Amino acid sequence: GESVGLHLPTLSVQEGDNSIINCAYSNSASDYFIWYKQESGKGPQFIIDIRSNMDKRQGQRVTVLLNKTVKHLSLQIAATQPGDSAVYFCAETTNTNAGKSTFGDGTTLTVKP
């Protein structure tokens, strides 16, 4: 149930497996990145963020990895649960575009019980 490196529009995993959702960004000047979760009928919800001076940050069951060399961001979800089923977006911002976040294409995660 993992995909490494490649952005996939959909990802299906078994409950309890780990999930990896990938995102490529284009602006090398981006210095702040956020992962959002959007459930059906709701607005995006903040999951975790990372600044460009870090390459890894951990939260509860989630880890974000940043590879600035290849402009790649990933979200790892441990022990995926049915409640994790949603669309996941990464977003990038730069210091020069105060307030402007650019969202990447989302990945729809489906967790099978």
| Among the listed residues 8, 24, 32, 63, the single contact to other proteins using CB under 8 A | 32
Residues 62-101 binding other proteins (CB under 8 A) are: 89, 93-95, 97-101
The reply to whether 105 sits near other proteins by the rule CB under 8 A is yes
Pairing state of beta strands 62-67 and 86-93? unpaired
Strands (E), the chain: 10-14, 19-24, 32-38, 45-51, 56-58, 62-67, 72-77, 86-93, 102-103, 107-112
Number of residues that bind other proteins (CB under 8 A): 25
| Contact residues: other proteins, CB under 8 A | 31-32, 34, 36, 41-46, 49, 89, 93-95, 97-106
